[in-house]
Amino acid sequence: MKSVDIQFDHLSIGAIPRVVGVVTDLASVEALAIAPVPTWDVIEMRLDLIGPDTAWTVAVDTLQRAGFPVLATLRLAAEGGNWTAADAAREPILMAALQRCAAVDIEQRSPLLPQIIEAARALDKPLVISYHDFDATPPVDDLREIVRNGAVYERGIVKLASHINSTTDIQRLEALLTDSPIPHPLCVIGMGEMGQATRIRFPQLGSCLAYGHLDASTAPGQLSCHTLHTALHAAS
Give the residue numbers annotated as catalytic, written as ranges: 132, 159
Decide if 90 contacts 74 (C-beta within 8 A). yes
Closest CA to 80 of 107, 43, 53, 112: 107
Decide if 1 contacts 95 (C-beta within 8 A). no
- Phi-psi bin for 221: left (phi > 0), alpha (psi -120 to 50), beta? left
Decide if 152 contacts 186 (C-beta within 8 A). no
- Phi-psi bin for 112: left (phi > 0), alpha (psi -120 to 50), beta? alpha
Q: How far apart are CA 18 and CA 223, in angstroms?
A: 14
